[in-house]
Amino acid sequence: MTGTPRPNPFDLSGRTALVTGSSRGLGRAMAEGLAAAGARIVLNGVDPGRLAAAAGEMRAEGFDVRDARFDVCDEAAVVAAFEGFDAEGLAVDILVNNAGIQFRKPMVDLATADWRRVIETNLTSAFVVGREAAKRMIGRGRGKIVNVGSLTSELARATVTPYTVAKGGIKMLTRGMAAEWGARNVQANAIGPGYMLTDMNEALINDPAFDAWVKGRTPARRWGRPDELAGAVVFLASPASDYVNGQIIYVDGGMISVL
């Protein structure tokens, strides 16, 4: 190595990251990526068994991991969770708003209750958890918020409109967070996953016609792997992105960039 050694801008040592919906899927993969970059991890979910298993597996890999079981759709539980962190002296330096559900149905058949459930889980929860985290980040003079959008933050697909609307909202919520919190050294950005190999997409992956469509429509000619989000989330959680605000990075193999 030549020249004066400089700190690694992607190093997350000494920082704590809360990842919502992280006992499996994309959230778990992002938690692994953040842990590998040195962060202490707080896993979140609602299923105690799945959450404990995920935390145990990550600790077995040598990572500093704990879990926080609360439902991101239960505002009182979210507030109580952050009050608990305060009481423990646990500072959430990095928040990844990942929790979300999918519900595929044509709108003419869609019950309003199902519409509301998707919007509440995929969008409103990011506001509530983001607000509670930002109050504390602002007090400490720094913080990183990474919201998980989707390629459907930009493009619609029939039968997933509530998900698409919520993910479009995530893009604009991220810009709103940047507008309000950027001056307090809290950077808010987003990641837009493409078609990823997750449980949520199992029905699509196992549908030969849909599988062929994804592969034909994506410049990379393949589905994405959850671990392929790690680079973008570490970047947006690290000092390397201190002058990046209100952006959404699409990790989609190029799908939204081409016809």
Q: Is 169 in the site for ligand GCO (CB under 6 A)?
A: no
User: For residues 43 and 22, is the Cβ–Cβ distance under 8 A?
Assistant: yes
Per-residue binding letters, 52-91, with ligand GCO (x by CB under 6 A)? ----------------------------------------
Residue 54 corresponds to which tokens in the numbers above?
């995920």
Cα distances from 249 to residues 2, 121, 212, 229, 256, in angstroms, run 32, 21, 25, 10, 11
CB of 259 to ligand GCO, least distance (A): 18
Q: Is 225 in the site for ligand GCO (CB under 6 A)?
A: no
User: For residues 48 and 69, is the Cβ–Cβ distance under 8 A?
Assistant: yes
Q: Is 222 in the site for ligand GCO (CB under 6 A)?
A: no
CB of 79 to ligand GCO, least distance (A): 29
Applying the rule CB under 6 A, the residues between 188 and 217 that interact with ligand GCO are: 193-196, 200-201, 204
User: For residues 251 and 225, is the Cβ–Cβ distance under 8 A?
Assistant: no
Active-site residues, by number, are 163
CB of 156 to ligand GCO, least distance (A): 10
User: For residues 187 and 245, is the Cβ–Cβ distance under 8 A?
Assistant: yes
Q: Is 250 in the site for ligand GCO (CB under 6 A)?
A: no
